[in-house]
Amino acid sequence: MSLRNLPEIKAERLPTICAFEPDADALDRWNAGILAQQSPENTISILDVIGEDIWTGGGVTSKRVAAALRAIGDQEVFVDLNSPGGDFFEGVAIYNALRAHPHKVTVRILGLAASAASVIAMAGDEIQIGKAGFLMVHNAWVIAIGNRHDLYEAAKTMEPFDDAMATVYAERSGVKKSKAAEWMDNETWFNGEQAVKEGLADNFLPADQVAEDKTKAEAARSINATRRVDALLAKSGIPRNERRSLIGEVKRGMPDAAAHVTLDADDLKAAIEQLRSTIRS
């Protein structure tokens, strides 16, 4: 087990009427090019969205982290973290896997640890964060489809998830659970200094340990625009399959889209809205 007495998070999958989606604001703030200047061999890098990413075929899954832990074996582990979050259940599974490791786990928040990634960060026996880094906590949110009974079931199912996360944040920071729940209700962003002050991180990560791959950051802009639009449309209640279809049709209708990797998310969203209106008229 972890050196700290960290609480386990128990979470079963939501009903099939629900699906977790990344937070649009977190995607907007995320610089995918942030990485570690140097990392020990016994390091697990979590530098992507949490869970399988349909847009790239990538993403960080609990299976990948479990395999990395097996490969590292009987020694301490470093976790380099820069992620906008994603699938809550994958985040919980990764947290529990790190929590169960029998040696010290040091989490280094290089850039952003938002949503499900902030849950993963809490698995560290020691949490370091860059002064320019951010940590964001909020209630789990999903897209749910169905009648009132389905939606009631979804809401009831999510209650213990939020309670479990509030427990983890409270135990780490030393605040009352009600205070942690308030942070989550308000979707609270902590910069590096605030995270350390509130006890959500232990100390600062030296600036010279953080680097930026500008090529990777530039290449990620286009896909991040797509992810942001997908997240925004999800918040408007559009089902996943319809969102994928709409975005695909818009991209096929933009012959220059592939060439311009800096495709603006607002332009893409406007095009999708126009397409939706056409389809439904």
Comparing 110 with 11, which gets the higher pLDDT? 110
b vs e for 65-98, b when ≥16 Cβ sit within 10 Å of the residue's Cβ?
A: bbebbeebeeebbbbbbbbbbbbbbbbbbbbbbb
pLDDT tens digit string along 172-194? 999 999 999 999 999 999 999 99
Mean pLDDT of 63-88: 95
Quote the tokens at residue 76.
């301490």
pLDDT at 74: 94
Identify the DSSP state of 238: -
Grade residue 259 by pLDDT with cuts at 50, 70 and 90: very low
Grade residue 262 by pLDDT with cuts at 50, 70 and 90: very low
In contact, 164 and 240? CB cutoff 8 Å: no
pLDDT at 268: 54
Among 170-184, 187-201, 204-218, the range scoring the smallest mean pLDDT is: 204-218
Grade residue 126 by pLDDT with cuts at 50, 70 and 90: very high
Grade residue 261 by pLDDT with cuts at 50, 70 and 90: very low
CA distances from 151 to 12, 14, 17, 154, 237 (A): 17, 11, 8, 5, 13
Comparing 58 with 138, which gets the higher pLDDT? 138
pLDDT at 119: 96
In which element (H, E) is residue 77 found? strand 77-83
Give the 3-state secondary structure of residue 30: coil
Mean pLDDT of 92-104: 95
pLDDT above 80 (res 237): no
This prediction's pTM? 0.80
The residue count for the chain: 281
For residues 183 and 228, what is the distance between their CA atoms, to the nearest angstrom? Answer: 23
Which one, of 127, 105, 113, 135, lies nearest residue 43 by Cα?
105
Q: Report all structural domains of the chain as residue ranges with CATH numbers, in order of start.
A: 18-212 (3.90.226.10), 215-280 (no CATH)
Quote the tokens at residue 106.
């040091």
pLDDT at 272: 54
Burial class (CB in 10 A: 0-12, 13-18, 19+), 253: exposed
Comparing 44 with 141, which gets the higher pLDDT? 44
Grade residue 221 by pLDDT with cuts at 50, 70 and 90: confident
